[in-house]
Amino acid sequence: MNRHFDTAPGADEAFLARLEGRFGERYSASSAMRERFGKDESYHPSIPPDAVVTVRDTADVSALLALCNEHRVPVIPYGAGTSLEGSVSALHGGVAVNLQEMNRVLDVHHEDLDVVVQPGVTRRQLNDHLRDSGLFFPVDPGADASLGGMVSTRASGTNAVRYGTMRENVLSLEVVLPDGRVIRTGTRARKSAAGYDLSHLFCGSEGTLGVITEITLRLYGVPEAMSSAVCNFESLQGAVQTVIETIQLGVPVARIELLDPVQIDAINRYSKTDYPVEPTLFLEFHGSEASVKEQAETVAALAGEHGGGKFAWTTNTEERNRLWRARHDAAYACKALRPGGQIWATDVCVPISRLADCMDQTREDLDANGLVAPIVGHVGDGNFHLVLLVDHEKPDEVERAQSVHERMVHRAIDMGGTCTGEHGIGYGKLDFLEREKGAAVDVMRQVKQAIDPNGIMNPGKVMRGRVEPSRTTP
């Protein structure tokens, strides 16, 4: 038991016994389970909870939260564990809520283009479920994240430029509040002007306000045709300018990804491809047969005006899959660049007019500090990822990586951008949120205090509050 509470008795033996009494074999305090549920896919180490409870329905969650609230014990929701800023670390101990068995697709409404799911359903599981329906769910972060986690971190991915992020695709949530009450934040209506937008308050709150137990999401018809394209550029500026003009023209591009030369080199080595080692756009177009052809031709013309090389586009499924497989494997390709290094993936998002500058200056800073770090961007959104490969055995290298990272985030904020486009704050970006939002963080604290007065929900994440993290990591 290693909680550190100012205000509360916490998860003492008596409490844990009570929990075990209520949840039986779905309760575990084994060190293997605790270790596993205290860790996400990020560079943050495991910080284990005191116990893990596997819930099966909303009533389970409600009972668990009411009990924890009564005893002032922290609660940390856990979906697929694919977060990147330590969102599941048990900074103050407490109970991890394992939502993986709440993984049913409850209702697909074909005419309304929506679906109701439990939070443990993963994005791939949903799309497998939809396979023969002619519908799909477009939001695609790198990992096979749970949809509850994706709502909680306001996740996005390569399709956001056309289909939006989780923010644009959540219609309604069922949420269990810290005291066990159950609310529904919206309806299945496409739009509503009825009261405060609680769906969007919970979307992105990283489990600090309650536990999401049901999600209604928008779906889309599978497009009649898809084409993909790849084009290398003499300069980053040329690639970004092509994207800016593509969007200004209203070309409804579905995916538009920018890979810098370091990333292309890594992919060539890993995927045995032979892309020119230059700034490169990977694109995808969705629409009718005629439309995807027209879209590709329009962008090809723009690319030609901005130093683009060969614009190779295809509707061939095999070639399309090969391209996106290479993009998808970018993370593995990065890893292979530096076998001893650990991946530290981080992201920022800036107004697109500042994107090339932000990426260029970051690259210069990386080079000056002798760091290996590919850059890959969801360029249509102004969002890019820096994948730092750091040998954690070398304190000097870790320090240089931290300072380059800090300068990149400050640069993005100074350019009118945000400290994270899609990864969230967790406890890795607390200071950056303060820098970006200033007094607005006080309002977040007021809202947190109002909804979770005992501070039991995922304490120490998103913002510092009454209960300070006592076990932060270097």
Residues in 292-331 that interact with its own copies by CB under 8 A: 294, 298
- The least distance separating its own copies from the CB of residue 149, rounded to whole angstroms, comes to 12
Segment near its own copies (CB under 8 A); pick from 17-25, 93-101, 163-171, 324-332: 163-171
Residues 6+ away with beta carbon under 8 Å from 275: 230, 232, 264, 267, 268
The pattern of x and - marking residues 252 through 281 that bind its own copies according to CB under 8 A reads x-----------------------------
Annotate 45-60 with three-state secondary structure: CCCCCCEEEECCCHHH
Please report, as residue ranges, which positions from 218 to 237 form the binding site for its own copies (by CB under 8 A).
220-221, 223-224
By the 8 A CB rule, do 171 and 199 touch? yes
Residue 196 within binding range of its own copies, rule CB under 8 A = yes
Closest CA to 423 of 55, 61, 155, 72: 155
Taking CB under 8 A as the criterion, the residue among 249, 301, 336, 368 binding its own copies is 249
- The least distance separating its own copies from the CB of residue 27, rounded to whole angstroms, comes to 28
Taking CB under 8 A as the criterion, the residue among 1, 59, 106, 290 binding its own copies is 290
HSE (side-chain half, CA atoms, 13 Å) at 151: 36
Handedness of CA 77, 82, 87, 91 (dihedral sign): positive
- Which CB, 195 or 370, lies closer to its own copies? 195
By the 8 A CB rule, do 69 and 178 touch? yes
Residue 154 within binding range of its own copies, rule CB under 8 A = yes
Please report, as residue ranges, which positions from 426 to 465 form the binding site for its own copies (by CB under 8 A).
429, 432-433, 436-444, 446-451, 462-463
Of the chain, the end-to-end C-alpha distance in Å amounts to: 22
Number of residues that bind its own copies (CB under 8 A): 97
Rounded distance between C-alpha atoms, residue 346 and residue 425, angstroms: 10
Segment near its own copies (CB under 8 A); pick from 54-62, 202-210, 313-321, 393-401: 202-210
Residue 288 within binding range of its own copies, rule CB under 8 A = yes
- The least distance separating its own copies from the CB of residue 234, rounded to whole angstroms, comes to 20
Neighbours of 318 (CB within 10 A): 8
- Which CB, 119 or 424, lies closer to its own copies? 424
- DSSP structural state of residue 41: S
Residue 374 within binding range of its own copies, rule CB under 8 A = no
Phi first, then psi: what are they for 419, rounded to 5°? -70, -15
Residue 167 within binding range of its own copies, rule CB under 8 A = yes
Radius of gyration over every alpha carbon of the chain, rounded to an integer in angstroms: 23
- DSSP structural state of residue 417: -
The pattern of x and - marking residues 378 through 417 that bind its own copies according to CB under 8 A reads ---xxx----------------------------xx--xx
Please report, as residue ranges, which positions from 40 to 79 form the binding site for its own copies (by CB under 8 A).
none
Segment near its own copies (CB under 8 A); pick from 2-10, 268-276, 337-345, 375-383: 375-383
By the 8 A CB rule, do 427 and 461 touch? yes
- The least distance separating its own copies from the CB of residue 286, rounded to whole angstroms, comes to 7
Q: In 43-159, which residue ranges form alpha helices assigned H by DSSP?
A: 58-71, 123-129, 147-153
Residue 156 within binding range of its own copies, rule CB under 8 A = yes
Taking CB under 8 A as the criterion, the residue among 422, 428, 454, 459 binding its own copies is 422
Residue 466 within binding range of its own copies, rule CB under 8 A = no
- Which CB, 101 or 245, lies closer to its own copies? 245
Token pair belonging to 253:
């591009």
Return the H-helix or E-strand segment holding 131: none
Taking CB under 8 A as the criterion, the residue among 21, 24, 250, 339 binding its own copies is 250
- Which CB, 114 or 214, lies closer to its own copies? 114
Neighbours of 394 (CB within 10 A): 13
Segment near its own copies (CB under 8 A); pick from 68-76, 199-207, 304-312, 318-326: 199-207
Helix, strand or coil, per DSSP, at residue 364: helix
Residue 286 within binding range of its own copies, rule CB under 8 A = yes
Please report, as residue ranges, which positions from 176 to 195 form the binding site for its own copies (by CB under 8 A).
177, 181-195
- The least distance separating its own copies from the CB of residue 288, rounded to whole angstroms, comes to 6
Residue 109 within binding range of its own copies, rule CB under 8 A = yes
- Which CB, 240 or 262, lies closer to its own copies? 240
Residues 6+ away with beta carbon under 8 Å from 152: 77, 79, 87, 202, 203, 204, 205, 206, 207, 212, 424
Q: How far is CA 95 from CA 1, 60, 88, 310, 427, in A?
A: 11, 13, 11, 55, 18
- Which CB, 93 or 157, lies closer to its own copies? 157
Residue 201 within binding range of its own copies, rule CB under 8 A = yes
By the 8 A CB rule, do 101 and 60 touch? no
